[in-house]
Amino acid sequence: MKKILFSLLLGASMLNTAMAVEGDAEAGKGKSAICATCHGATGISIAPIYPNLAGQKAPYIVKQLTDFKAGTRTDMMMAPMAVNLSEQDMADLAAYFSSQPRSGKAAAAATTDTSAVAPTAAGNVEVVTSTSAKAIYAGDVKAGQEKSGMCVACHGTDGNSAIAIYPKLAGQSANYLAKQLADFKSGARVDPVMAGMVAGLSSTDMDDLAAYFAVQTMSDGTGETSAKGKKLYFGGDVEKGVTACIACHGIEGKGMAQAGFPAIAGQNADYLKKQLLTFREGSRSNDRNNMMRNIAIKLSESDIEELVKYMSSLK
Question: Which residues of this protein are in contact with ligand HEC, per CB under 6 A?
Answer: 34-35, 37-39, 49-51, 53, 61, 64-65, 75, 77-78, 81, 93, 150-151, 153-155, 165-167, 169, 177, 179-181, 191, 193-194, 197, 209, 232, 242-243, 245, 247-249, 261-262, 264, 272, 274-276, 286-287, 291-292, 295, 307
- CB distance 136 to 119 below 8 Å: yes
Question: Distance between CA atoms of 291 and 259, rounded to whole angstroms?
Answer: 13
Residue-wise burial string across 292-303, b where 16 or more C-beta atoms lie within 10 A, e elsewhere: bbbbbeebeeeb
Nearer to ligand HEC, 7 or 158 (CB): 158
> Cβ of residue 276: shortest distance to ligand HEC, in angstroms?
5
Nearer to ligand HEC, 9 or 150 (CB): 150
CA angle 201, 288, 159 (to 5 degrees): 45
CA dihedral (207, 209, 211, 214) positive or negative: negative
Question: Distance between CA atoms of 138 and 203, rounded to whole angstroms?
Answer: 9
Indicate the burial class of 309 (C-beta count within 10 angstroms; 0-12, 13-18, 19 or more): buried
Nearer to ligand HEC, 95 or 264 (CB): 264
Nearer to ligand HEC, 10 or 51 (CB): 51
Nearer to ligand HEC, 61 or 127 (CB): 61
Question: Distance between CA atoms of 170 and 210, rounded to whole angstroms?
Answer: 10
> Cβ of residue 25: shortest distance to ligand HEC, in angstroms?
13
> Cβ of residue 107: shortest distance to ligand HEC, in angstroms?
15
> Cβ of residue 119: shortest distance to ligand HEC, in angstroms?
16
CA angle 117, 118, 123 (to 5 degrees): 135
> Cβ of residue 260: shortest distance to ligand HEC, in angstroms?
6
> Cβ of residue 2: shortest distance to ligand HEC, in angstroms?
34
Q: What is the CA radius of gyration of the chain?
A: 22
Q: Which residues contact 300 (CB under 8 A, 6 or more apart)?
A: none
> Cβ of residue 8: shortest distance to ligand HEC, in angstroms?
25
Nearer to ligand HEC, 137 or 166 (CB): 166
> Cβ of residue 70: shortest distance to ligand HEC, in angstroms?
14
- CB distance 59 to 15 below 8 Å: yes
Nearer to ligand HEC, 137 or 155 (CB): 155
Nearer to ligand HEC, 9 or 49 (CB): 49
Q: Which residues contact 281 (CB under 8 A, 6 or more apart)?
A: none
